[in-house]
Chain A
Amino acid sequence: MAPSKDQLACVIPGGFTVLSLRFSEDDDHAALHQLCVKEHRVRSESNTDRPLDRTLFVLNVPPYCTQSVLADVFSRFGPIQSVELSDKPGVSESSDSDVSEYFRAARRQCFRVAYIVFSSESGVASAKRHPRSVPLTVSTAGRPVRTGVSKWIQQYSVSLVNSSSLQDAVDQFMRDFDQRKTEEAERLKQAVAQQQEDEEGWVKVTKGSRGAKARPHSEMANQRTLQKEEKKKQRKELLNFYSWQHRNTQKEHIAELRKKFEEDKQKIAALRAQRKFRPF
């Protein structure tokens, strides 16, 4: 037999290994969260940040575990290359890492999934072998994790921004943005120029980029044209000209009255059902 049952990794159907996680070392009887880990395996992974053999997929990561905390916790299984946290399993969300820190969207403080990339394959394996009875610890004496009041005070302190550094960030972005815009304009110009006649009167016909060639038009404009035509049609129509039209209008009127009558009857029936006619 293998070593005592406690020392065995707990593997559940679905191939996940259950690890337990506690917040701090002080309290031995504290309730534990269960982390489910498994090697990351999908049929077609386009994301190069998650190499299939070295990535560990972790479920149920509590909100107070940030990337750095996770990196620390899992480093016991082997050196760690990167940690990615996301709200839902699946394709990685558009990261706004190229934006300066001031402009990043605030994260929801919810339970998340993590993709931990180890430097070597052995990290994944050793994590999967880890027994459930030995809990991982989030906040240790050497590396305390702030929560509660102290965390909120820190957050508040961070929200006080030095305006010059913010200004620098804005300037930097706008410089890049302007440059990008000029480049784009340049490209557009070239595309247009390509379609001009050359000296000999030839026009080069290419497939081109579709966006640039098509006349810029919007949905609204399309609808407006349609409406205009509709109106034109209506103007041309003759109303109550023929006697059958007149008859029809009368019929419509009675039908309208009838419909209203029936609707009212229905409303009353509904109210009666709720005993809404008892005045006192």
Chain B
Amino acid sequence: MKKKWKESTLTEEKMEEPDSIQNEEEKEKKSAKQSKDPKRKAKDTVSDAGVLRPLKLSKKELYKAPTVEELNQLKEAENLFHCSILKMQMEELLKEVSLSDYRKKLVDSFVQEVTDFLHTVPETEVVELDDLSWLPGVEVPFLLVPPTAKGKFHMEPPASINVVGSYPLGTCIKPRVIVDLAVTIPATILHPMDAINQRYPRKRALYLAGLAQQLCFSEAVGSLSYSCLHGNRLRPVLLLKPPGKDSSKVTLRIHAIPPPDFLKPSRFHPQKNNIRTEWFTGVANKQQESSEPATPHYNSTVLGDHLPLSHLQFLSASSAQCPAFGEGVALLKVWLRQRELDQGAGCFCGFHASMLMAYLLSTHKVGKSMNVYQLFRNALHFFASTDLTENGITLAKNPDSKAPSLQEFHAAFSVVFVDPSGHLNLLADMTAFTYKQIQHEASLSLKFWDDPTIDGFHALLMTSKAMIRTYDNVFQLSELVNLQASCKKLSLLNELMDYSGNYVLSALPFILSLLQRGLGERIYLLAHSLPQDPEWPVDSAPPKHKDQPPLSIGLMLNLERALSVLDRGPPADNPKAAEFRQMWGSRSELRRFQDGDITEAVLWSGNSTCQRRLVLLEIITYLLQLHADIPESCVRFVGGQLDDVIKVNKEICTTGEEESLKVVQAYDDLSRKLWQLEGLPLSITSVQGAHQALRYTQVFPPVPVRMNYKFFAKKKNRLGLVPQEDKPCPYYITPIKVIVHMEGSGKWPSEHLAIRHIKAAFHICLGQLLNKHHQYTFNATPTYLDVSKDGLAFRIQVAYHREPQILRESLTPAGMLIYRDNAEAQALELETRHKPFLNSTLHGLQQQHGCFGVVCRLAKRWLASQFLLEYIREEAADLLVASLFLHPAPFTPPSSPQVGFLRFLHLISTFDWKNNPLIVNLNGKLTAADHTDIKNDFGASRESLPTMFIATPNDTKVSVWTKKAPSVQMLQRAVMLAAESLHVLETHLIDSSQKQDARVVFRPPLEAYDVLIHLVPQQVPLLAKAVDPPPITYNQGTYNGDPLASGGVLPVIDYDPVRLYLSELRDAFGDLALFFNDPFGGTVIAVLWKPSAFEPQPFKTSLMNARCVEVNGDVATTVPNIEAILQDFRIIGKGLVKKLELRTEKWAV
């Protein structure tokens, strides 16, 4: 028999990965060593595969006399930064994002080529503005609403071409390098009256189109497309990319601007009108010109075009003053981009960041000699402490007399930041909500930065805060065309004129404030995605407003109020009642409350927590329908799609919160009864829950049931029910573990075996007393006592606090008493000390954070469905989730199951397990010093510690829950699966057009396994809880109806054939193969051979298990006896195994 094993099975690949990286690194290092600075010791100590080893410095190096320079450097690192590592991290980050000289050269030459070309643009004849016949081949990047306009136009070469924006300032960051090129339109094309009625913006667009038409012929240009500046359709820009392989490296953005002082800025005062109603609506208007509505946004758009050059001058002057200016702005830009705030309509872009930094400099809020870190920090501090929606700021030192005052700006715009000229509000398009979001982010960031236990650098600058992972609930408004109707309903004609027909931007502030009022105290923060800049090719018409992708609204929930089904308004006779009724329309009704008040109130539907999570959706759709005419079908709730997989009761739709509560109540009752028992030889000192159902994190919490006795066989003496062979597997009853500590006393023997007997006696005694006083049926065994109560089963274990100690004791021949740790003692300690403690701590966490339990359950459901739950223990999974709540940086603690689950996947897939311990500071017991200690201990003995190291206050050195598993390979698989699931799930949630349901991430890939053991569905006890439950259900021996509170016959407790089968398989073949199964209703056991076990080994008596012998001459070798093993799979699982599916294409026998 010749056996060939394909090397690249699943785990094998994983195992080899680090090796290959290692090799590459080694090579790299070797070459680095040979070529450049041999002084760099630090680099050499970075061991293979990026694992840190303790550093060894020679005495001589450490104690040599320091130079002044070195002293200064060390001092600076110590005083200005938390530690020197932050400084180095920032330097590295800036290195990553700044442009290389090579790229700069590339940009410069590209700009030069384009500039040269643009100067040669030919002149054309003068035509009417409406006449587009001279422009073949390209479209005008402008939505012509209304279609007609007066004026004449012709092409001419630009008056001047300047590079403006971030590139000349040196604040440009990679990736997406954008170089702004301002092309000045010659004055002869424009007319002094062009500011009126969009004439100037149209000419500007035409000029751009003219340039685009010419640029099509240029060889220097790779690709050409239109876009617009910050979502403003009046300000189209032309995007140019160089040809060939450099196309992704830089984008040239061409703005057309008027000559600097062409139009007087005073014309664009925010209270003036520059768009006539008559022209816009096409309806003759009898009103006087003076009563025309102001068009502040249009005004600032036109005015903004006049100023890029002077702004650049101003910023260059500021930048010259302060050496760290450019880098400070770059950091701020990174920070903004991670928060998705730097793009789209109403963004806070890099230009604004530079302006802000200049403001801070000019008001001496930052000093000229400050370093990058200080600049950045002060900018955040400014955001956090200044509310630009109330108190605007201005950069203008001596505004001229015609410049508007700050009050006038505030009246016209929601956020005010006035530019150096004193006429332009730089943040004209920003909504108050976006600014609030910036403020929130800034204060949050400062908080994280001040906390020494958090890796501030990582939280602030390295983690992307995508909306779907940041906000608890996300609602999407799709089919934006409906907003047109809402503009009508909200009578927003003036705003529509001001925004030149962009109904999305016109309606947005109103819709948002409507929702803010409606949701009130239910939310902490309401944020919205910024409508992104569209990009379209030059030969196609500009996309319509309705073609925009859906608009997302993110809510940060106040969980205390968010799920309430009642909105209480003012008393009926209060003057505010009318307002309340107006807000809620017909849903508002007078209600009398238990405290005697009669008030207006709105009642929403929902009984279980699962249903109440949809109350917000109900409110939002109702309000939008009522006030903004937006149909329900346009509002899409991102969330709740995952609830399905953890639904406990399909009929009344619960996701386990209520069931968990019932279990805890039953336990509390039992605990009270145990305390009250009399007649025990020793008294009880503590009763502690040690089961996940008692901390609300059991995936499917036990549900009380009533047994159908006819379904079972009975054991004699009424001991209990026993399953029958020819019937399906009975309903699975989870034993809920409870640890009862008995008081310490001299009566306890000091020998382990005797203690075990005494414990057995206690089990009997407790059982009999409970039976006598409360009629609970019980089964006492030496190791536990099962009690059936209220249709649930509790497994009581008596513990004696000195028992682990006694297990550790031994006597040396010299008579000395020594303590040596052993596995048995550890296991006992885990059960009787660590588990109850973890239970009570996490129970407390659930009280603080209402959705901790449900996130845990989702996370564990996912782990189970991907076959990982047996490798990442349930307790470890709970701790991982707990860390999301205790250390949410850079987010806030999750308040909805879905966002918690997404962050759980993100944590698993991105955490650097190799180099960092995950510290879960339960109860806040660990200090900053403890954190450092843990990290140092971890670094010093990395190799001997578990791959997944989770430290808690009671367990800083061992990581008890991850000690045995997962192995490196399993962890790597978990990381890979989590990353993939996260990706699939997020795209699924964001994109409503996806056909698959969200369960797809809960379906494990089965391709990688060698053998699949299909099980008989009837014998799988949790079949109904499977991710895709089968349509048929089997009778599992239960009645509908209330369970018996006490008495009856003891039901079948903890009988799970699948688990028994798996444990037998692992016992027998654990060294040959890995076995995977979804414990919640999985009907498949996946088997993966261990490649190493299949190499022929020389015959040894200790290595003969499940092998067969091959004799070759006088040498005997052994290989696994595959056929017999497969046969054994069937024999051991007789009655449970349906069929074996062999994937023989992967391995040949």
Tell whether A pairs with B: yes
Interface residues of A (CB under 8 A from B): 12-14, 16, 18, 23, 30-34, 36, 59-60, 62-64, 88-89, 99, 102-103, 108-111, 113, 147-153, 155-157, 159-163, 166-167, 170, 173-174, 177, 181, 210-211, 213-214, 216-220, 222, 251, 254-255, 257-274, 276-280
Q: Chain B residue with minimal CB distance to A266?
A: B42
| Contact A259:B57 (CB < 8 A) given known A147-B1131, A147-B1132 | yes
Contact B757 A216 (CB under 8 A): no
B1111 within 8 A of A: yes
Give Cα distance in the complex from A277 to B719, angstroms: 65
A159 near B63 (CB under 8 angstroms)?
A: no
Report yes or no: A34 in contact with B1108, Cβ–Cβ below 8 A.
yes
Q: Which residues of A contact B96 (CB under 8 A)?
A: 277-279
B1114 at interface, CB cutoff 8 A: yes
User: Which residues from chain A contact B1132 at a C-beta distance below 8 Å?
Assistant: 63-64, 147-148
Interface centre among A16, A113, A157 (most CB of B within 10 A): A157
Provide the B1083-1105 mask, 1 if CB < 8 A to any CB of A, else 0: 00000000000000001011011
| Chain A residues positioned under 8 Å from B246 (CB to CB) | none
Partner of A36, one of B71, B1019, B1109: B1109
The interface bits of chain B over 739-775 (1 if a CB of A lies within 8 angstroms of the residue's CB, else 0) are 0000000000101011011101100100110000000
B93: chain A residues at CB < 8 Å are 277, 279
Q: Mark B810-830, 1 if CB is under 8 A from A, else 0.
A: 010111111100000000000
A220 contacts across to B, CB distance below 8 A: 819
Whether B92 and A262, one on each chain, are in contact in the complex, defined by CB atoms closer than 8 angstroms, is: no
Q: Using known A-B contacts A62-B1128, A219-B817, determine if residue A269 contacts B767 with beta carbons closer than 8 Å.
A: no
Chain A residues near B757 (CB-CB < 8 A): 103, 170, 173-174, 177
Contact of A267 with B1109 in the complex, beta carbons under 8 Å: no
Residues of B within 8 A of A167 (CB): 761, 764
- Please encode chain B, from 109 to 146, with 1 for each CB lying within 8 Å of some chain A CB and 0 for all others: 00000000000000000000000000000000000000
Pick the contact of B50: A18, A103, A270 (CB < 8 A). Answer: A270
Pair A149/B1134 contact, Cβ less than 8 Å: yes
Nearest A residue to B729 via CB reads A149
Interface-facing stretch out of B627-635, B777-785, B990-998: B777-785
User: CA A90 – CA B816 in complex, angstroms?
Assistant: 30
- How far, in angstroms, from A192 to B1068 measured CA to CA in the complex? 53
Assess the A59–B1104 pair: CB atoms within 8 A.
Answer: yes
Asked if B1104 and A264 make an inter-chain contact with CB atoms under 8 angstroms apart, the answer reads: no
Q: Which of B83-91, B380-388, B794-802, B1022-1030 contacts A (4 or more CB under 8 A)?
A: B83-91
> Which one of B338, B761, B1070 has the greatest number of beta carbons of chain A within 10 Å?
B761
- Please tell me if the beta carbons of A147 and B814 are within 8 angstroms of each other in the complex: no
B768 touches A163 (CB 8 A): yes
Interfacial chain B residues near A156, Cβ < 8 Å:
722-723, 1052, 1055
Task: Give the interface segment out of B539-547, B646-654, B1119-1127.
Answer: B1119-1127
| CB proximity of B139 to chain A, nearest CB, Å | 32
Instruction: Decide: A59 and B1101 in contact? CB cutoff 8 A.
Output: yes
Contact assessment for A266 and B52 in the assembled complex, using a CB-CB cutoff below 8 Å: yes
Given contacts A31-B1127, A148-B1133, A156-B1052, contact A279 B1114 (CB under 8 A): no
Asked if B1060 is at the interface (CB within 8 A of a chain A CB), the reply is yes
Whether B760 contacts A102 by the Cβ 8 Å rule is: yes
Interface centre among B61, B757, B1102, B1126 (most CB of A within 10 A): B757
CA distance A93 to B814 in the complex (A): 26
B1104 touches A262 (CB 8 A): no
Given A161-B779, A269-B46; A177-B754 close (CB under 8 Å): yes
| CB-nearest residue of chain A to B463 | A279
Is B1104's CB under 8 angstroms from A60's CB? yes
* Chain A residue at minimal CB-CB distance from B1059: A152
| Contact yes or no, A160 B779, CB < 8 A | yes
Query: Chain B residues with Cβ under 8 A from A210's Cβ?
Result: 813-815
> Is the Cβ of A23 less than 8 Å from the Cβ of B1104?
no
CB of B77 within 8 A of CB of A111, answer no
- Please tell me the number of chain B residues within 8 Å of chain A, measured between CB atoms: 107
| A163 and B1115 alpha carbons, distance in the complex (Å) | 57
In the assembled complex, the Cα of A257 lies from the Cα of B71 at a distance in Å of 10
B934 vs chain A, min Cβ distance (A):
16
- Closest residue of chain A to B41 (Cβ to Cβ) is A262
Instruction: Pick the contact of A280: B71, B464, B1063, B1135 (CB < 8 A).
Output: B464
Q: CB of B1064 within 8 A of chain A? A: yes
CB distance from B720 to the nearest CB of A (A): 5
User: Which residues of B have CB within 8 Å of A279?
Assistant: 93, 96-97, 334, 337-338, 461-462
Chain B residues near A218 (CB, 8 Å)?
816-819
Q: For the complex, what is the distance from the CA of A263 to the CA of B337, rounded to whole Å?
A: 31
A257-B78 CB under 8 A given contacts A12-B1116, A269-B42: yes
Chain A residues, CB < 8 A from B915: 267, 270
Q: Judging by beta carbons under 8 Å apart, are A170 and B1136 in contact?
A: no
Contact A161:B74 (CB < 8 A) given known A13-B1116, A219-B816: no
Q: Does B594 contact A (CB under 8 A)?
A: no
- Do the beta carbons of B1135 and A60 come within 8 Å of each other? no
Q: Which residues of A contact B43 (CB under 8 A)?
A: 266, 269
What are 25 A-B interface contacts by the 8 Å CB criterion? Answer: A13-B1114, A14-B1116, A23-B1127, A34-B1109, A60-B1107, A63-B1132, A99-B753, A103-B756, A108-B1067, A110-B1068, A111-B1104, A148-B1132, A152-B1057, A155-B1060, A156-B1055, A167-B761, A170-B757, A181-B749, A211-B815, A217-B815, A218-B818, A251-B63, A261-B77, A264-B84, A267-B52
- Judged by a CB distance under 8 angstroms, whether B55 is at the interface is yes
Let me know if B337 and A109 touch, CB within 8 A. Answer: no
- Provide the B1009-1028 mask, 1 if CB < 8 A to any CB of A, else 0: 00000000001000000000
Q: A102-B782, A173-B757 are in contact. Are A259 and B1108 (CB under 8 A)?
A: no
In the complex, the chain B residue whose C-beta lies closest to that of A33 is B1124
* Cβ of A264 to closest chain B Cβ, rounded Å: 4
- Chain A neighbourhood of B25, CB < 8 A: 273
A177 nearest in chain B by CB position: B754
Q: Which residue of A lies closest to B1063 (CB)?
A: A109
Contact: A268 with B85, CB < 8 Å?
Answer: yes
A40–chain B nearest beta-carbon distance, Å: 11
What is the CB-to-nearest-CB distance from A188 to chain B, in angstroms, rounded to a whole number? 13
Complex CA distance for A111 and B779, rounded to whole angstroms: 32
Output the least CB separation between B721 and chain A (Å): 9
* Closest B residue, CB atoms, query A217: B816
Is B45 on the interface with A (CB-CB < 8 A)? yes
What residues of chain B lie closer than 8 Å to A214, measured between beta carbons?
814-815
CA distance A69 to B805 in the complex (A): 40
**B35 in contact (CB, < 8 A):** no
The one of B63, B1050, B1063 that contacts A160, using a Cβ cutoff of 8 Å: B1050
Residues in A neighbouring B779, C-beta threshold 8 A:
159-161
Contact B62 A258 (CB under 8 A): yes
What's the Cα separation between A140 and B870 when bound, in Å?
37
- Chain B residue numbers with a CB within 8 Å of A18 are 1109
**Minimal beta-carbon separation of B265 from chain A (angstroms):** 37
Contact for B1136 among A103, A148, A261, CB less than 8 A = A148
Q: Are A166's CB and B1099's CB within 8 A?
A: no
Could you say which residues of chain A place their CB within 8 Å of the CB of B62?
255, 258-259
Cβ 8 A contact of B818, one of A157, A219, A263: A219
Task: Let me know if A277 and B1050 touch, CB within 8 A.
Answer: no
B residues near A273, Cβ cutoff 8 Å: 25, 46, 50
Residues in A with CB closer than 8 Å to B1135 are: 148-150
Ordered nearest first, which 7 A-B pairs have the shortest CB separation? Answer: A148-B1134, A149-B1135, A31-B1123, A111-B1105, A214-B815, A218-B817, A264-B85
Nearest-Cβ distance from residue A231 to partner chain B, whole angstroms: 21
Instruction: Given A109-B1067, A259-B55, A268-B89, answer yes or no on A150-B760 (Cβ-Cβ < 8 Å).
Output: no
Residue numbers in A under 8 Å from B781 (CB-CB): 102, 159, 161, 166
Cα A269 to Cα B912 with chains together (Å): 15
Residue of chain B at shortest CB distance from A214: B815
Question: Told that A160-B779, A254-B66 touch, could you supply 17 new A-B pairs with CB distance under 8 A?
Answer: A59-B1104, A148-B1134, A156-B723, A160-B715, A160-B719, A160-B1050, A210-B814, A211-B815, A255-B62, A258-B57, A261-B84, A264-B84, A268-B89, A270-B52, A271-B92, A277-B89, A279-B462
